[in-house]
Chains A and B, each alone.
Chain A
Amino acid sequence: MASLREASPLARTTLAFVAVALVCALFADLAVTTVNPYQELVRLLAGVVTPDFYATDNLGSALAYTLAFALLGVAFGNVLGFGLALLFFSRIVRTGCAFVRAIHELFWALIFLQIFGLSPLTGILAIGIPYAGIIAKVYAEILEEADPAPLRAVPLGSGLISTFLFARLPDAWAHFRTYSMYRLECGLRSSAVLGFVGLPTLGFHLESSFSQGRYSEVSALLILFYVVIASMRLWMRKPLLPVWLVAAAAILPWGLTVSAANMLRFFTHDIVPYPLRAPGGDTLAALGDWLHLMLFEQALPGAAATIQLTMVALVATGVLTMFFFPLVSPLLLGRWARGAGHVFLVVVRSTPEYILAFVLLQLWGPSMLPAIVALSLHNGAIIGHLIGRFTETVKLRPDASRGIDRYVYEVSPRIYRPMMALLFYRWEVILRETAILGILGIATLGFYVDSAFADLRFDRALFLILITAMLNICVDAISRAIRARLRLQTTLKHR
């Protein structure tokens, strides 16, 4: 048996992460607290097979708003992100983008709800701002990795703009389009989830019908949602894009007023720590108390729970991926079985993890268990799908072993590196999502952020959101360092 010292760095890293996750799981609250979880599950399944499309008021407008926010938000993010990608050489732009994408759409929505209220701007910016940060980074990477040959063919003295338009953009454009389609799919998911905090999208009704146990209505809402995502490639055609954008802008209710005074008040009053704007007294001492309360009673316990949950979910995602990728791998399964595998993975990865967690919370009660299962199912299905596709390129010897031996000795070693690369890539995504699940009642940072918003204490909410963003940026940096040290690469296709 090889000792740990001789093990490869990749194996050692794996073992270290598994050990950390086990310790975290040991201290995690994993109880099922509902009395009859299976009775509820049976009711849910009964609802799934009897969808009721007439139970929801304003179902049509909820669907239209879901599409409208997604389209306009992603379009805004795309234009802004493209512009920022061109300035990505600047450290300020890079840092700014890292910061805005470290804050989840739902947190952005909670912030913009204070500034713009229920105006459509709230939904568009909540999606557009973080997406601009993500898109800028990806587009900058695409431009960097683009074929440099055309650039060498450009005659001396060509202008900066024409060089860019004719030598750099054409090669990158196809990648931009593919990535934009992927972002639009994410945008639809985000838009639906924004309903949970009050925007009039599908999530708004999903939340109410679910919590009242009207599962036929839930089923109808989810089916509509899957149909929209699955049919995206049919209706999202280039010549129709302006039509959809104009239509989206036209159906949104722009009537509600947005006042500049509200915006000004938010930035100059609401988010200033209370002791600094409280009348009289010992400001410095009060500020010390405020910071002490925020750090030791909210930020630190919240951050600890967030990290704990993230680590368990990350390793659980890896384990599930090992089970999921064979479902769609031609090396391991026949055509019909793979078809079923594809359907399963599509449904699991199209369901936003927030909605999955919400469903499981209703069934099992509030502990870390539903969150871990939701996060690892969703992310495991995404990575499993990508790895399954990756195995299509793997060539085995004609006399390679079959069955379980092939899985263990032939396929698994070959997919392990790309799988770990993707896993580390999604680490930060899992963390961001973990923080958000606090809104559902698990004691991660989101729980304290949600409480601060419920108490209309925006100074506290913003402080905690900044802590969340910093945590995210740290994990992103650690993940990048590990990937660099282990030479783990993700290709453009796998982002």
Chain B
Amino acid sequence: MMTMRIRSVAAIYAVLGALSGLLPGAGAAQAEPFVFTAIPDEDASQLRTRFDKVARYLARTLGVETRYIPVKSYAAAVTAFRNGQVQLAWFGGLSGVRARAMVPGSRALAQGAEDRAFVTYFIAHESTGLSESKSLPKEMAGKTFTFGSKGSTSGRLMPEFHIREAFGKAPEEIFSRVGFSGDHSRTLALVQTGAYQVGAVNFAVWERELKDGKIDPKRVRVIWRTPPYPDYQWTIRGDVDERYGNGFAQRVKAALLSMKDPDLLDSFPRSAFIPAENSDYEPIRKTARSLGLID
């Protein structure tokens, strides 16, 4: 009995020993893979589907093994970038500003054609009776309101800025309840079901969901569009040339700008990528400072 037990345990160990030889990393050292991430601004379960094909495109174009790692929050994306666990990231305006402040030498490479003049839509459930107007409707006061993620530019920073401008008060003093849905898909769902009466959502996500027939115009409608501001961008660490060879950052930039496949672009969703500079995001930094979101 005892020997049988010992034997079966020994057998398991033998198999495990054999398997360990097959494990990745057990062999010779490989070239360091190029790793990127993206802020989880939409339905998190679709992130892999959206970005694994971008990883394949970059690997093909750059000739370097490229991996995408999913993260659960905007802050986690910034942290991974700061700690050097990812070298490239698809950030929002605010997360990009935060990341570049934390990583000296890092720079914005490219933005979507739409990101030069990005817009936030304020949306409302039909039961509120609110309809689209030229300025932020004052009747919003007293309703329930949801932002997107706490760290979002289009779902938090810009809507909060315009709410404070219009009412001269903090959101918690204006609305009967203030929530943070987590991402844009969720904001849409929450306002569409009436869980929140009013919300702020990224216009690109709204337009795509409208096109895909996921929005019921009888139940939820746009009540105000913000003035345009700069938003999402690809940001790269300053030390990539050292790690992947001279001119690597330039090659990444070229690869991003030459991304033409509509299937790839649709996962952002953007029509094309155009060059971007750190200084493009100065207005975002100033706004975030004025709201006390960055020190």
Chain A nearest Cβ from B36, distance in angstroms: 13
Cβ–Cβ contact A456 & B177, under 8 A: no
A350 within 8 A of B: no
Cβ–Cβ contact A34 & B193, under 8 A: yes
Cβ–Cβ contact B73 & A240, under 8 A: no
- State A319–B193 Cα separation when bound (angstroms): 34
A2 within 8 A of B: no
B-contacting 9-mer, from A92-100, A167-175, A243-251: A243-251
Cβ–Cβ contact A457 & B13, under 8 A: no
- State A110–B24 Cα separation when bound (angstroms): 28
Cβ–Cβ contact A198 & B76, under 8 A: yes
A407 within 8 A of B: no
Q: In chain B, what residue has the closest Cβ to A40?
A: B193
B-contacting 9-mer, from A9-17, A204-212, A376-384: A204-212
Q: In chain A, what residue has the closest Cβ to B49?
A: A57
A162 within 8 A of B: no
B-contacting 9-mer, from A44-52, A111-119, A143-151, A475-483: A111-119
Known pairs A35-B195, A450-B150. 13 more at Cβ < 8 A? A35-B127, A36-B194, A57-B45, A57-B48, A117-B79, A117-B85, A118-B71, A207-B72, A250-B19, A250-B20, A366-B177, A451-B150, A453-B75
Cβ–Cβ contact A454 & B151, under 8 A: yes
Cβ–Cβ contact A113 & B179, under 8 A: no
| Complex partner residue of A240 from B12, B48, B74, CB under 8 angstroms | B12
Cβ–Cβ contact A212 & B75, under 8 A: no
A-contacting 9-mer, from B56-64, B182-190, B205-213, B253-261: B182-190
A155 within 8 A of B: no
Instruction: Please indicate the chain B residues that have their CB under 8 angstroms from the CB of A254 in the complex.
Output: 25
Instruction: Please indicate the chain A residues that have their CB under 8 angstroms from the CB of B19 in the complex.
Output: 250
- State A180–B19 Cα separation when bound (angstroms): 29
Contact code string B208-246 (vs A, CB < 8 Å = 1, else 0): 000000000000000000000000000000000000000
Cβ–Cβ contact B75 & A243, under 8 A: no
Chain A nearest Cβ from B51, distance in angstroms: 12
Q: Pick 20 A–B contacts, CB within 8 A, sort by A.
A: A35-B194, A57-B48, A58-B48, A117-B80, A118-B69, A118-B71, A118-B85, A196-B72, A208-B43, A212-B186, A213-B189, A239-B5, A239-B9, A250-B19, A256-B85, A278-B295, A366-B179, A454-B73, A455-B294, A456-B102
- State A254–B78 Cα separation when bound (angstroms): 20
Instruction: Please indicate the chain B residues that have their CB under 8 angstroms from the CB of A205 in the complex.
Output: 45
Instruction: Please indicate the chain B residues that have their CB under 8 angstroms from the CB of A262 in the complex.
Output: 83-84
The interface of chain B, by Cβ under 8 A from chain A, is 5-6, 9, 12-13, 16, 19-20, 23-25, 43-45, 48-49, 69, 71-76, 78-80, 83-85, 98, 102, 127, 144, 149-151, 177, 179-180, 182, 185-186, 189, 193-196, 293-295
- State A19–B43 Cα separation when bound (angstroms): 44
- State A204–B72 Cα separation when bound (angstroms): 8
Instruction: Please indicate the chain A residues that have their CB under 8 angstroms from the CB of B49 in the complex.
Output: 57
A356 within 8 A of B: no
Q: In chain A, what residue has the closest Cβ to B20?
A: A250
Instruction: Please indicate the chain A residues that have their CB under 8 angstroms from the CB of B180 in the complex.
Output: 441
A33 within 8 A of B: yes
Cβ–Cβ contact B25 & A243, under 8 A: no
Instruction: Please indicate the chain A residues that have their CB under 8 angstroms from the CB of B80 in the complex.
Output: 117-118
In the A-B complex, list the 6 residue pairs whose CB atoms are closest, starting with the nearest.
Answer: A198-B72, A35-B194, A454-B150, A208-B44, A208-B45, A34-B195
Chain A nearest Cβ from B136, distance in angstroms: 23
A268 within 8 A of B: no
Interface size counted on chain A using CB atoms at 8 A: 49
- State A68–B151 Cα separation when bound (angstroms): 31
Cβ–Cβ contact A198 & B71, under 8 A: yes
Chain B nearest Cβ from A172, distance in angstroms: 25
Q: In chain B, what residue has the closest Cβ to A455?
A: B293
Instruction: Please indicate the chain A residues that have their CB under 8 angstroms from the CB of B5 in the complex.
Output: 239
Chain A nearest Cβ from B88, distance in angstroms: 15
Chain B nearest Cβ from A364, distance in angstroms: 9
| Complex partner residue of A247 from B16, B43, B177, CB under 8 angstroms | B16
- State A366–B13 Cα separation when bound (angstroms): 50
- State A117–B19 Cα separation when bound (angstroms): 28
Instruction: Please indicate the chain B residues that have their CB under 8 angstroms from the CB of A453 in the complex.
Output: 73, 75
Cβ–Cβ contact B193 & A35, under 8 A: yes
A178 within 8 A of B: no
Instruction: Please indicate the chain B residues that have their CB under 8 angstroms from the CB of A33 in the complex.
Output: 144, 177, 195-196
Instruction: Please indicate the chain A residues that have their CB under 8 angstroms from the CB of B293 in the complex.
Output: 455
Instruction: Please indicate the chain A residues that have their CB under 8 angstroms from the CB of B83 in the complex.
Output: 117, 259, 262
Evaluate whether A113 and B76 lie within 8 angstroms (CB atoms) in the complex, with A208-B43, A240-B12 already known. Answer: yes
A274 within 8 A of B: yes
